[in-house]
Amino acid sequence: MFDDSNIIAGLEIGTSKICVVVGEQLAEGGLNIIGLGQSRSRGVRKGEIINPEQVEEDLRAAVFEAEQMADVEVRSVYLGVSGGHIRGFNNRGVHPVVSADREISQDDVDDVLKNAKAINLPAENTVIHAVRQHFFVDGQEGVMNPVGMLGARLEVDMHVIHGHANRLQNIIRLVRGTSLEVDEIVFNGIATSLALLSNEQKEMGALVIDIGGGTTEYVVYFDGVIRHSGVLAVGGDHVSNDLAYGLKVPLSRAEKLKMEYGSAQVTDAAKGQTISITNELGLELKRINVEHLQRIMSLRIEEAFRLIAQELEAVGLSNYLRAGVILCGGCSRVPGIVALAENIFQMNVAPGHASAISGLTTALDQPEFATAIGLVKFGSLKNRKRAERPFFKGFIGRFLQRT
């Protein structure tokens, strides 16, 4: 019924849920979301797999649901990866132009890109993305395409995202074990910002924070290119755990309380208010102070934001974010989180909406699915590149993959 090459699937194995989004590449270049499947994830902690068997089971359920809905068979996926081991940093590659007429050729560009990727990583780490930022020709900044220009010295700035090779392999093997092919692995933060940011926002400078169940990813765009990225292995799970500890309730109860009474800031209404937890017979088991609940939550979320703010301060990017902060992920549903983030970052904060994609509107509105939708978008960009410009591989696009 469909030509297979038009079907793109994104798979995110998160700490709280496994999510599959199926998209259809339209002939005119657009992208249509046709299927969505999700299941509760039980074998993942802080973005990393701890129980492969359970993950496999949950993964099959999610894929099945998405296939049913889209009425296609998912053969390969773009796989999102995260975890505290993933780091991003900027690196510069240098290449002297040796040709007699000093004209920069495609070979020179390839060489300088290779140099920029030759970085000193720990032996066990591997590069996930090496994203080109800008070229420099004899020190002239901001060159996007140096081929054909004259110069003696060609440099390029790259943003390199790397992670622990074995842990990345683990998740790839697990997906392959369910007879799905992995097209490519993509850092979740990049996928999320693809789904949420418009080109204008990328130009103006924006910070995307995806607060998931086990990890928080953050990516900074400025001047249209990625400037900084990172993962903080703190997420909604930590909030629940803090509540379970602080209020002395079981974890499952803490999750429910978080959903029902949670707030990122202590609200006036909560002051002095208590709620009683009852058992199945309606007898009171325990009284919980809502103010404490909200204080514990707000401290944890505030800390996560502060750590990110400090990091941006350290790399000197906090004054470049004119488009402000965009929040997504399950935790962005917490009431009052926007106000809290505005307080800490001192800039405009908005919840993210997946834009420039048509299809199931109910799915697109939810902040939890931004990453999986971004994965599909990433795949469609790759596909388009492959189809339209087979000779300029990776030249127009920004995503370079070292495999």
Partner 1 sequence: METPEQNSFLETSSALDVRIFAVGNAGSTLLGALSAAEFSGAQFTAINTDAAALAASSATVKINLENKLMRGLGSGGDPDRGRALAEEQFSTLKAACEGANVVFILAGLGGGTGSGVSPVFAKAAHEAGALVLAFVTLPFECEGNRREAQAQVALEQLKSTADGVICLPSQKIFKLIDENTSLVETFRFTGGFLVEGVRGVWQLLTRPGLIQVHFSDLCALIRDRHAESAFAFVEAAGPGRAREVAEKILAHPLLDEGRALAESDAVLVSLTAGKDLSMAEVNRVMEQVKRQCRHAQIIMGAGVDGALKEKLCVTVIAAKQNAAVVGAASRTEPRTAYSSVVPQREVTSPRPVSRMRRANNKLVQTQLPLNIISKGRFDKSEPTKHNGEDLDIPTFLRRGVPLN
Name the site residues for partner 1 (rule: CB under 8 A): 45-46, 50, 84, 232-234, 237-238, 241-242, 244-246, 251, 289, 292, 295-296, 299-300, 302-303, 307
Given the complex with partner 1, which of 156 and 233 has the nearer CB atom? 233
**Which residues face 125 on adjacent strands?**
164
Given the complex with partner 1, which of 153 and 295 has the nearer CB atom? 295
CB 243, CB 258: distance < 8 Å: yes
CB 21, CB 372: distance < 8 Å: yes
Burial classification of residue 384, based on how many CB atoms lie within 10 Å of its CB (0-12 exposed, 13-18 middle, 19 or more buried):
middle
How crowded is residue 101: how many other Cβ atoms within 10 Å of its Cβ? 7
Where does residue 133 fall: left (phi above 0), alpha (psi -120 to 50 degrees), or beta otherwise? alpha
CB 131, CB 400: distance < 8 Å: yes
Given the complex with partner 1, which of 111 and 217 has the nearer CB atom? 217
CB of 48 vs partner 1, minimal distance in Å: 8
- DSSP of 354-387: --S-EE-HHHHT-GGGHHHHHHHHHHHHHHHHHH
**Which residues face 95 on adjacent strands?**
154
CB of 272 vs partner 1, minimal distance in Å: 12
* Single-letter code of the amino acid located at 330: G
Given the complex with partner 1, which of 50 and 150 has the nearer CB atom? 50
Given the complex with partner 1, which of 50 and 285 has the nearer CB atom? 50
The span from the CA of 334 to the CA of 297, in Å, is 10
The span from the CA of 232 to the CA of 224, in Å, is 24
CB of 250 vs partner 1, minimal distance in Å: 10
Given the complex with partner 1, which of 178 and 252 has the nearer CB atom? 252
CB of 169 vs partner 1, minimal distance in Å: 17
CB of 232 vs partner 1, minimal distance in Å: 8
Nearest to 75 by CA among 167, 166, 3: 3
CB of 13 vs partner 1, minimal distance in Å: 16
Given the complex with partner 1, which of 104 and 304 has the nearer CB atom? 304
List C-alpha distances in Å: 385 to 29, 130, 192, 203, 313: 11, 17, 20, 22, 36
Given the complex with partner 1, which of 13 and 372 has the nearer CB atom? 13
CB of 256 vs partner 1, minimal distance in Å: 15
CB of 89 vs partner 1, minimal distance in Å: 17
